[in-house]
Structure 1
Amino acid sequence: MSERDCYSFWGDLTEEHWNSPIAEGKWTLKDVITHMMLWDKFFYEEGIEKIKENQPLTVRHLNFNEFNAKAIEYSKLHPKKTILEQFVEYRMKIIYDISGLDEMEYTKEYIDGDKKNFSIRKYLRGFIPHDKHHKKQIERFIKSIA
């Protein structure tokens, strides 16, 4: 299922499903999508976009718990439609910009906002398992409500 197909599918879910925990003791579907979208936004704006525009990176290592708590608050303050639109927007920007990089840009070690090495390849090595983890959670949830 493509990101755009996901947008259409998720957009068709009821508010009850959208605001239900994906499993006992877990976040709601809206929280999970917001969490993913805000991490995409952060890495895109602070890293990938900077590389594309040949600017210094501002991506930093953050406190995950604080970031995730802010994501939950964000999900409470914004409607489903906005969150889904932002999710698709940032995911497509990441895909488009990374696919436009040449091999040197993809593997190059850039200096991030913490003065540590950052590369697109290393970012993806962490990003893909994180994404798969949430995708599996969402798939289990969708099967449980079908």
Structure 2
Amino acid sequence: MMKEIINLIEKFEQFNSWVNELEKVDEDLFFTPINEGKWTPAEIISHIIYWDRYILEELMPQMRKDAKLESVAFDVINQPASEYASSGVTKTQLIQEQIEARNHLVEVLKEKSEQEFFDTFVLNGEEIDRYSGYPHSLFNYISAFVWHDNHHKEQIETFLNKNQNS
């Protein structure tokens, strides 16, 4: 089981290598919506920063065996994240903040025991995660965020591939 945890943390941490590559992206393109009515790459990265901080500061401290957790509505985090990305912050600043937020979260994850990764809890009144079909645990939660990272990474890469070549 420890090997699975180590692999999960490595996948979660690897997102930073990809984020670092975004330094090469044109500043204007980084602040251009990926589609009509959609976020910019900057807003997407900001959204991930805000979620990483929320997980670290609010949720993880409560993730204990049989705990009953309530997560905020997505917009409570997504709205300020979107506003921050449009506040005049630079691409480099956002990238650095993402790397710092993820590194901080990874450091704390590395200190967790195997038991802590698999202790189950209730999240928003649900014992079973409706997306994965598994009980809520720190392991399952971080796995969902690896999927979430990859989902946004694909969105940004598709957008960049379309727009950097034209």
* TM-score, normalised relative to structure 1: 0.77
What is the aligned-residue RMSD (CA, Å)? 2.9
Q: How far is the alpha carbon of 1:3 from its aligned partner?
A: 4.0
Measure, in 1, the Cα distance between the counterparts of 2:102 and 2:157. 18
Amino acid in structure 2 at the alignment position of 1:39: W
5+ long unaligned stretches in structure 1: none
Q: Does 1:97 align with 2:115?
A: no
Q: How far off its partner does 1:29 sit?
A: 0.7
**In the alignment, is residue 32 of structure 1 matched against residue 44 of structure 2?**
yes
Secondary structure, counterpart of 2:86 in structure 1 = helix
Are the aligned partners of 2:118 and 2:139 in contact in 1 as well (CA < 8 Å)?
A: yes
Contact map agreement 2:16 2:98 (CA 8 A) in 1: no
Alignment of 1:125-140 (within 5 A): 125-140=143-158
Question: What's the CA shift for 1:115?
Answer: 8.7
Q: Where does 1:1-146 land on structure 2 (aligned, <5 Å)?
A: 2-48=14-60, 50=61, 60-77=70-87, 78-109=89-120, 119-144=137-162, 145-146=164-165
Task: Give 2:9's aligned residue.
Answer: none
Distance 1:116 1:8 in 2: 36
CA offsets per residue over residues 36-77 of structure 1, 9 Å max, x none? 1111111011133x379x9xx9x7411213421221111122
Sequence identity percentage: 26
Please list the CA deviations of residues 78-115 of structure 1 after superposition, one character each: whole Å capped at 9, or x if unmatched: 33222211110111222232233221011113578x79
Give the corresponding residue for 2:132. Answer: none
Give the letter aligned to residue 153 of structure 2: K
Aligned counterparts of 1:65 and 1:7: Cα–Cα separation in 2: 23
Structure 2: unaligned runs, 5 residues or longer: 1-13, 128-135
Name the aligned partner's letter for residue 147 of structure 2: P
8 Å contact kept, 2:46–2:94: yes
Q: Give CA-to-partner distance per residue, 1:3-31, whole Å, 9 cap, x none.
A: 44334321232221111112333111101
TM-score (normalised: structure 2): 0.69
